[in-house]
Structure 1
Amino acid sequence: MDHLLAMRVFGRVVETGGFAKAADGLRLPKSTVTKLVQMLEAQLGVRLFERTTRRVSVTAEGAAYYERTRHWLAELDDFETTLARGSASPTGTLRIDTGGSVAAGLIIPALPAFRERYPGIRLQVGVSDRTLDLIGEGIDCAIRSTADDPNLVARHIVNLPWTTCASPDYLARRGTPQHPDDLVRDSHDVVGYFSARTGRAHPLRFADGERDADAGLSLTVEVNESNAHTAAAVAGLGIVQTFTFAAAPHLARGELVSVLADWQPAPLPAYLVYPADRRNNARLRAFLDWITEVLPERAGVASHFKPS
């Protein structure tokens, strides 16, 4: 038995809460994961999991074994990373999660340069506007707009400015608002963005100096994916408030027109977040260094952030 692999597999089952999820994350057959855990239990002489037809739960012995091996494996990974730093380039797979517009508009177009700099890193880019469990899903890092998860390390990488816009056809039909109050007064159609997790729509925000004003609109169309949100504006469904980088190509082609430019809210901070035990991973460090260099430029904003 590959004892080290069995320990890693056991840890993934604990973190994901199931053999099937662990197998998916490790890209191993479920039967292999089950066999490795069973062999580990036989070698240790204890049951690590209680299994029923409905659930898998870790035993007290399994929880104690997980805590000890988790720290040991993290130290081993740190040591291997230290050795890898002496090589020309880190190697292996890096799993990333990000939203649709950030992936399509910022990350993927710049990836050829990353691949040229780090040819040994194989990237797996998950694209979703849902907030995933990085530890449970085995994801190395994600780009998020919040840094409030105590289980994750967060590094600020960029501030993303907003643009409120609509298609020329829509504005020709309904008029161009000059003030946020015009949206309500003239009963403008607004395309909202709602959270896939909560189902609640994000309010439009407008700022004048230090004053924010929620438009208090009735949304006529709502979507929960960022690229579709911008596409709805291009289709003439109404006014949207989206990231400037997402609207920029359409603004340049005349497919969208910026409105209420003097009332845009403060930029949204974006963070790279990752589990603490991956902080010394060479692949993650390479990606962090790279993304903090290229993202501000691609987003059209300045940043003096330096990763620690």
Structure 2
Amino acid sequence: MDQLLAMRAFIRVVDTGNFTKASEALGLSKASMTNLVQNLEAHLQTKLLNRTTRRVMVTTDGALYYERALRIISEVDELDGSLSQSYSTPTGRLRVEMASIFADWIVIPALDDFHRAFPDIHIDLGVGDRNVDYLAENVDVALRGGQPADQSLIARRVGQVDLTFGASAGYVERRGMPKHPSQFETDHQCVGYFMPPGNRSMSFQFERDGERVEINPRYALSVNDARSYTAAVLAGLGAGQLPRCMVADEIASGRLLAVLPDWHIEPIPLYVVYPPNRHLSNKVRVFVEWLVRLMAEKGVNPQHSRQPR
């Protein structure tokens, strides 16, 4: 029995909750995954998992073994990575997730430069603002705005996105220029933005001279994608909070006008997020360092602090 492979199989089954997702993540057949875990249980002479037709549950012994096995596999991966990094060129498939506005504006236009430097890395880029199951979908790294909610992930803060509150010139011409944030709950409207779970449209926060205001704005349209959100604001469907560096051309041309410019909006912290152990991969390391440099070139304020998981 390949005990390290069996340990990896068991860990992935626990992480994903079933054998089907675990087998897809490791690139093995479901039958192979089942045999690996059964052989591991036989070797240990204890039951690690309780299986039903609908779910897989970890036994008490299985939970204890999982914690120790995870540490061992992490150390093995770290050792392999520290040695192979010096002697090999990064290769393989890299599964990446990020919002459309980062993908379209920062990453995709520059990817040719990355592939010239690392021709043996093949990127599968998932684009969108949906919630992602990093382990089940075998994601290596993600670029996300805001503090990650999943505390099991490793998050490195790499910058922040400054926001501007703006509306199209057509909207201001029709509706006038608002004087206070509260007007967006009465005679003005924003483009709404909603995300699961709950699909509630987000509120907006403003600050000026010690006064803090949070509004739940009126809207005619609410979307769940950053690219569509920006398009809706530029189309005059309402005001919105937009990344300043990404709408600089629209502001310069007069298509987008600053609204409530004397009110402060808190920047969005930007994180690179990894599932446990993925940050040890050489291909992930080179991609993240390239991404950090690229964001700095594009005006995303660099932050070099690291956030523990």
* Interval containing the TM-score (normalised by the shorter chain): 0.7 to 0.9
Aligned to 2:167: 166
CA–CA distance in 2 between the matches of 1:220 and 1:153? 38
Q: In structure 2, do the counterparts of structure 1 residues 7 and 91 end up closer, same or farther at CA, with 3 Å as the change threshold?
A: same
CA–CA distance in 2 between the matches of 1:249 and 1:28? 49
CA–CA distance in 1 between the matches of 2:222 and 2:79? 49
Aligned to 2:223: 223
Q: Which moved more, 1:148-157 or 1:11-20?
A: 148-157
Aligned to 1:19: 19
Q: Where do 5+ consecutive residues of structure 2 fail to align? A: none
- Between the two proteins, what is the percent identity of the paired residues? 39
Q: In structure 2, do the counterparts of structure 1 residues 264 and 91 end up closer, same or farther at CA, with 3 Å as the change threshold?
A: same
Q: Which moved more, 1:220-229 or 1:269-278?
A: 269-278
**CA RMSD of the aligned region, Å?**
2.9
Amino acid of the residue matched to residue 281 of structure 2? N
Deviation at 1:242, TM superposition (A): 2.0
CA–CA distance in 1 between the matches of 2:143 and 2:104? 13
The within-5 A match list for 1:113-262 is: 113-135=113-135, 137-144=137-144, 145-147=146-148, 149-184=150-185, 187-248=187-248, 250-251=250-251, 255-262=255-262
Deviation at 1:222, TM superposition (A): 1.6
Deviation at 1:206, TM superposition (A): 2.5
CA–CA distance in 1 between the matches of 2:162 and 2:282? 31
Q: Which moved more, 1:275-284 or 1:97-106?
A: 275-284
Deviation at 1:135, TM superposition (A): 4.3
TM-score by length of 1: 0.85
1:100-156 CA deviation, whole Å, 9 max, x = no partner? 222222232232222222333332323332343434544333223105654233222
CA–CA distance in 1 between the matches of 2:111 and 2:181? 38
Q: In structure 2, do the counterparts of structure 1 residues 19 and 254 end up closer, same or farther at CA, with 3 Å as the change threshold?
A: farther
Q: Which moved more, 1:159-168 or 1:201-210?
A: 201-210
Q: In structure 2, do the counterparts of structure 1 residues 250 and 9 end up closer, same or farther at CA, with 3 Å as the change threshold?
A: farther
1:195-239 CA deviation, whole Å, 9 max, x = no partner? 222322221223325433224532332222212211222332111
Q: In structure 2, do the counterparts of structure 1 residues 61 and 216 end up closer, same or farther at CA, with 3 Å as the change threshold?
A: closer
Deviation at 1:72, TM superposition (A): 1.9
Report the secondary structure of 1:28's partner residue. Answer: coil
Q: In structure 2, do the counterparts of structure 1 residues 14 and 216 end up closer, same or farther at CA, with 3 Å as the change threshold?
A: closer
Q: Is the 8 A contact 2:168 2:255 kept in 1?
A: yes
Deviation at 1:178, TM superposition (A): 4.5
Deviation at 1:263, TM superposition (A): 2.4
CA–CA distance in 2 between the matches of 1:50 and 1:286? 40
Corresponding pairs, count: 306
CA–CA distance in 1 between the matches of 2:8 and 2:62? 13
Q: Is the 8 A contact 1:162 1:242 kept in 2?
A: yes
Q: In structure 2, do the counterparts of structure 1 residues 285 and 193 end up closer, same or farther at CA, with 3 Å as the change threshold?
A: same
TM-score by length of 2: 0.84
Deviation at 1:42, TM superposition (A): 4.6
